[in-house]
Amino acid sequence: MKERQNRLVAVRELIRNNRIENQDTLLQMLKDEGFNVTQATLSRDLKMLKVGKISDGWSGYYYSLPENDLVAEEEKSYVQDVRRGIISIEFSGNMGVVKTRSGHAQSVCYALDVLGLPEILGTIAGDDTIFLLLREGMTKEDLLEDFRTRIPEIED
């Protein structure tokens, strides 16, 4: 398992088993578990895991995971669209060109937008081609690792 996947599992477990009120606490807990992670990376991980903050009704807020079954069901059709449609991905710097099956670019593009991959700043779709722009500081490797985590059937 890759470092990021191990870290995501650890984040889920820490949130599931502890009352965590802020990122500093979570960063320290991850450090205690042997993960050296920045605040920016942790923020992206929390977004990818769809972690939210909920009120305890008394003294503040704490992190909470979404109900996995609901999220999984909601994302299934979008993941299917991406799997079904993508033929190849090539990059030049922070711009990517995604080739899709004819007529699939719009649905794949929409699916990528709905999945909210933190590495992608924006997308534009044609009939069989998608142009995507990576966020500042993100790399092709970051996006491909996210694909391997969330859409494992996608090949590099």
For residue 127, which amino acid is it? D
Backbone conformation region of residue 128, classed left if phi is above 0, alpha if psi is from -120 to 50, else beta = alpha
How does residue 1 score in pLDDT terms, banded at 50, 70 and 90? Answer: very low
- How confident is the model at residue 72, as a pLDDT? 57
How does residue 45 score in pLDDT terms, banded at 50, 70 and 90? Answer: confident
Q: Tell me which DSSP letter residue 65 carries.
A: P
The CATH class for the domain spanning 69-150 reads alpha beta
Of the two residues 2 and 134, the one the predictor is more confident about is 134
DSSP string, 34-45: T----HHHHHHH
Of the two residues 76 and 28, the one the predictor is more confident about is 28
Residues of the chain with CATH 1.10.10.10: 3-64
State how far the alpha carbon of 57 is from the alpha carbons of 13, 26, 60, 62, 67, in Å.
23, 21, 7, 11, 20
How does residue 47 score in pLDDT terms, banded at 50, 70 and 90? Answer: confident
- How confident is the model at residue 2, as a pLDDT? 61
Residues of the chain with CATH 3.30.1360.40: 69-150
How does residue 152 score in pLDDT terms, banded at 50, 70 and 90? Answer: low
- How confident is the model at residue 68, as a pLDDT? 57
Q: How far apart are CA 59 and CA 46, in angstroms?
A: 22
The predicted model scores a pTM of 0.56
Contact 94, 64 (CB under 8 A): no
| Percent of the chain residues past pLDDT 90, beyond the cut | 36
- How confident is the model at residue 148, as a pLDDT? 79
Q: Which of 154, 153, 129 shows the shortest CA–CA distance to 140?
A: 154
Q: How far apart are CA 67 and CA 27, in angstroms?
A: 23
Q: Over the stretch 85-107, which tens digit does the pLDDT of each residue have?
A: 999 999 999 999 999 999 999 99
Q: Tell me which DSSP letter residue 127 carries.
A: S
The CATH class for the domain spanning 3-64 reads mainly alpha
Q: Is 49 exposed, middle or buried (0-12, 13-18, 19+ CB in 10 A)?
A: middle
Q: How far apart are CA 63 and CA 36, in angstroms?
A: 20
